[in-house]
């Protein structure tokens, strides 16, 4: 189980808070979409969940932070794969060289599966820094999935991918899961993850404005798009502009 308690975060010591008193828990095996307009704190929250950013201390909430099965998340690096549109910092390496590097650090790294993903995404063996933005994103997705981590955190994994590649990626991801993985994903392609995620956290102004299960939405004949419109207060036709 992942427990998140009273998370506050700002990028400057006396700056405006990007995250404000965020608390929730997620059971093992849940797939959670973290959604909202640009600038509401989605990427920041994912980085806090991955242990890449420390939450700000608050005297009123001494018991604050992120825990995985009772352990502080920053002590669980080997169990987490963080996939970001920013990509790897080792861009001088080719995809296979990058995979060999990761295999030395992650005992669970599946090199054979990684090779299959490289072939699936059609990635050439050339330095990552010379690839297009979409190709770099594919290399990072392949590396993250091959880590076989228990916690998979994906920040905009569809950047630079066309519709057919996105659909293939979702099928590849769904087919690789064992049911033991906990997944967090942010994306602007809401329609394409609606049937994939179990739950949606919708952020607004740095706070959780809605926490819903997608099966409950379906029972009410609602979509994530319609819920987003309700929560954000944006009128018909403005949501795509809001998320772009």
* N-terminal to C-terminal alpha carbon distance within the chain: 33
Q: Is residue 112 part of a domain?
A: no
Q: Is residue 159 part of a domain?
A: yes
Global pTM reads 0.84
Domain count, the chain: 1
Q: Is residue 216 part of a domain?
A: yes
Q: Is residue 17 part of a domain?
A: yes
pLDDT digits 0-9 by tens, 73-103: 988 888 898 988 666 667 789 999 999 999 9
User: Considering only CA atoms, which of 212, 98, 208, 203 is closest in space to residue 147?
Assistant: 98
Q: Are 183 and 31 in contact (CB under 8 A)?
A: yes
Strands 199-204 and 207-213: antiparallel
Report the percent of the chain where pLDDT is more than 90: 43
Q: Is residue 107 part of a domain?
A: no
pLDDT digits 0-9 by tens, 171-202: 777 777 778 889 999 988 888 888 889 999 99
pLDDT of residue 85: 67
Q: Are 10 and 56 in contact (CB under 8 A)?
A: yes
User: Considering only CA atoms, which of 133, 125, 192, 131 is closest in space to residue 161?
Assistant: 133
Q: Is residue 240 part of a domain?
A: no
Q: Is residue 105 part of a domain?
A: no
Residue 44 CA, chain-centre distance (Å), reads 11
Quick one: three-class SS letters along 10-60? CCCCCCCCCEEEEEEEECCCCEEEEECCCCCCHHHHHHHHCCCCCCCCCCC
Beta bridge partners of 210: 202
- What is the domain range of residue 12? 1-93+146-233
We report the CATH number of the domain holding residue 158 as 3.40.50.300
């Amino acid at each position: 189980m992942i427990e998140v308690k009273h998370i506050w975060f700002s990028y400057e010591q006396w700056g405006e808070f990007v995250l404000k008193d965020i608390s929730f828990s997620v059971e093992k095996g849940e797939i959670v979409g973290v959604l909202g307009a640009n600038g509401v704190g989605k990427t920041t929250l994912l980085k806090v969940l991955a242990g890449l950013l420390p939450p700000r201390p608050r005297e009123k909430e001494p018991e604050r932070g992120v825990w995985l099965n009772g352990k502080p998340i920053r002590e669980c690096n080997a169990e987490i794969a963080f996939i970001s549109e920013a990509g790897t910092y080792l861009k001088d390496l080719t995809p296979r060289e990058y995979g060999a590097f990761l295999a030395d650090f992650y005992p669970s790294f599946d090199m054979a599966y990684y090779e299959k993903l490289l072939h699936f995404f059609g990635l050439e063996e050339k330095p990552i820094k010379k690839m297009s933005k979409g190709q770099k994103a594919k290399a990072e997705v392949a590396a993250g999935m091959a880590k076989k981590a228990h916690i998979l955190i994906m920040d905009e994994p569809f950047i630079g991918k066309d519709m057919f590649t996105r659909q293939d990626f979702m099928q590849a991801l769904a087919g690789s899961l064992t049911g033991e993985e906990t997944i967090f994903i942010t994306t602007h392609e809401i329609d394409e993850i609606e049937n994939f995620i179990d739950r949606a956290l919708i952020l607004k102004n740095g706070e959780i404005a809605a926490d819903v299960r997608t099966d409950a939405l379906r029972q009410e004949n609602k979509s994530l798009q319609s819920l987003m419109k309700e929560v954000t207060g944006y009128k018909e036709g403005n949501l795509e502009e809001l998320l772009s």
